[in-house]
Amino acid sequence: MGTKINEIDEIKLELKRDLRDSFSSDSVDQLNTKYLGKQGKINTLFKTLPVKTDPKIGRQINELKNLIQEMLSAKLTETMGDEQHSIDVTIPGTEIPRGSLHLVTQAIEEIETIFLRLGFVRRRYPEVETDWYYAEGLNIPKEHPARDDQETFYVGDNTVLTAHTSNGQLREMELKKSPPIKMINIGKTYRRQIDASHTPMFHQFEGLVIDKEINITNLLGVTEYFAKSYFGQDRRTRLRPHHFQFTEPSFEIDVTCGVCQGTGVIHKIPCKVCKSGWLELGGAGMVHPNVLRNGGLNPDECTGFAFGWGVERVLMMKSNLPDLRLIYSDDIRFLKQF
Ligand SMILES: [Zn+2]
């Protein structure tokens, strides 16, 4: 008879353990089935113990049944209270400030989209570069005075942080091996400089188009398309002769000023943003035959144009920012305006 009583005690212990491990109303439901269901432990006791011959046992099982009902009911109330608390949608939450893409990232995406529409391929070439791709291969021999203008950060005797994205020109020619080439290389560049319109690190986008019979008209067309897409349909562009080692002929590209609409004056007062109605976009030109050769191409069979313009520069030209350094300040009051 002792063993029968032990079975009742064992069920009590098991129930306590089960209740301790139950944290949801679903699991309490399962316990209800386990103990009080048709095939549950209580019914099994009634069937297996000698209830008829020993009324005491019947009473004990009934007491146990009542106890289980009480405990499950209490646990159910507890878990439902917890569940209600955890999904109380009426409690005001803590608002997390919503971020957005940085101005420069937005500009890069916009520039990339414009050139992808023209069939350009987006590239990323090294920011730490050897002298060959950075200068010598671009027709700037060692000891050439053109190197003095570069304000380059040298990492080693033969390695630099690129001051322009033109290293991508030779790398693209090596990658493609033959025309047509139509790439836009957007990346970080570094120069020893800092003032209202210069930072030591900034971004450039470098375009390179090489094919049979590519000429200056094609360069003008792409320039015009970019200026109108990025700055607005009312903008115009012009070429000014210039000199670069890696292009021949070379140009500076200007875009009409958005503040004075290219007139150079506002209410008869000279425009403070531009010089006589024009803003400088950046350098461009026809790829020098030596550069084509250094990239493994034959200048008798193909020609091309290239340009390298500043992401921050076009961003400033578009938004009329007074100081480039604002873009890299951590003042979110400034950044939030965009
Ligand atoms: Zn102006």
**pLDDT tens, residue by residue, 303-315:** 999 999 999 999 9
152-201 pLDDT tens trace? 899 998 999 999 999 999 999 999 999 999 999 999 999 998 887 788 99
Output the pTM of the full model: 0.70
- 3-state SS of the chain: helix, strand, coil percent to 5? 45, 25, 35
Per-residue pLDDT, 85:
66
129 closest CA partner among 105, 96, 163, 101: 163
Question: Do 320 and 197 meet the contact criterion of CB atoms below 8 Å apart?
Answer: no
Ligand 1: centre distance to CA 50 (Å): 105
285 closest CA partner among 317, 240, 255, 315: 240
Between residues 208 and 55, the one the model is more confident about = 208
Does residue 161 share a domain with residue 302? yes
Residue 275 lies inside a defined structural domain of this protein:
yes
Share above pLDDT 70 across residues of the chain, in percent, rounded to a whole number:
97
When pLDDT is cut at 50, 70 and 90, the band that residue 53 belongs to is confident
Does residue 156 share a domain with residue 235? yes
What's the chain's average pLDDT? 90
Strand partners, 278: 256, 275
Per-residue pLDDT, 1:
45
Question: Do 327 and 315 meet the contact criterion of CB atoms below 8 Å apart?
Answer: yes
Does residue 272 share a domain with residue 134? yes
- Sorted by sequence, the CB contacts under 8 Å of residue 246 that are 6+ apart come out as 138, 139, 140, 166, 169, 285, 287, 288, 291, 306
How many CB atoms sit inside 10 A of residue 126's CB?
15
- Annotated binding-site residues for Mg(2+) read 248
Collapsed DSSP state (helix, strand, coil) of residue 22: coil
Residue 139 lies inside a defined structural domain of this protein:
yes
Ligand 1: centre distance to CA 259 (Å): 5
- Specify the CATH number for the domain of residue 204: 3.30.930.10
Residue 92 lies inside a defined structural domain of this protein:
no
Residue 94 lies inside a defined structural domain of this protein:
no
What type of residue is 124?
R
Q: Which of 32, 54, 86 is the last residue of a domain?
A: 86
Residue 23 — left, alpha, or beta (φ > 0 → left; ψ -120 to 50 → alpha)?
alpha
Collapsed DSSP state (helix, strand, coil) of residue 142: coil
Does residue 53 share a domain with residue 162? no
Between residues 101 and 4, the one the model is more confident about = 101
Question: Do 107 and 315 meet the contact criterion of CB atoms below 8 Å apart?
Answer: yes
What are phi and psi for residue 166, nearest 5 degrees? -70, -15
Does residue 178 share a domain with residue 61? no
Does residue 114 share a domain with residue 35? no
Residue 313 lies inside a defined structural domain of this protein:
yes
Does residue 128 share a domain with residue 45? no
In this structure, of 38-47, 131-140, 141-150, 302-311, the range with the lowest mean pLDDT score is 141-150
How many domains in the chain? Answer: 2
Does residue 188 share a domain with residue 217? yes
Domain that holds residue 15: 2-86
- Annotated binding-site residues read 248
Ligand 1: centre distance to CA 256 (Å): 8
Q: What is the dihedral of CA 25, 31, 35, 36, to 10 degrees?
A: 30
Does residue 120 share a domain with residue 74? no
What are phi and psi for residue 253, nearest 5 degrees? -100, 135
148-157 pLDDT tens trace? 767 889 999 8
Does residue 156 share a domain with residue 78? no
Ligand 1: centre distance to CA 263 (Å): 7
When pLDDT is cut at 50, 70 and 90, the band that residue 21 belongs to is confident
In this structure, of 32-36, 90-94, 212-216, the range with the lowest mean pLDDT score is 90-94
Ligand 1: centre distance to CA 292 (Å): 38
Q: Which of 33, 57, 86 is the last residue of a domain?
A: 86
Instruction: Give yes or no for a cis peptide into 249 (omega within 30° of 0).
Output: yes
Does residue 135 share a domain with residue 20? no
268-293 pLDDT tens trace? 999 888 878 999 999 999 999 999 99
Ligand 1: centre distance to CA 261 (Å): 6
pLDDT tops 60 at residue 211: yes
Residue 217 lies inside a defined structural domain of this protein:
yes
Q: Which of 28, 60, 86 is the last residue of a domain?
A: 86
Collapsed DSSP state (helix, strand, coil) of residue 74: helix
Per-residue pLDDT, 5:
63
Q: How far apart are CA 84 and CA 183, in angstroms?
A: 58
Does residue 188 share a domain with residue 78? no
Length of the chain: 338
Question: 269-270 and 278-287: which strand pairing?
Answer: unpaired
Residue 241 lies inside a defined structural domain of this protein:
yes
**Token pair for residue 49?**
């113990």
Ligand 1: centre distance to CA 266 (Å): 8
Question: Do 191 and 316 meet the contact criterion of CB atoms below 8 Å apart?
Answer: no
Q: How far apart are CA 306 and CA 151, in angstroms?
A: 21
When pLDDT is cut at 50, 70 and 90, the band that residue 297 belongs to is very high
Per-residue pLDDT, 335:
80
Residue 111 lies inside a defined structural domain of this protein:
yes
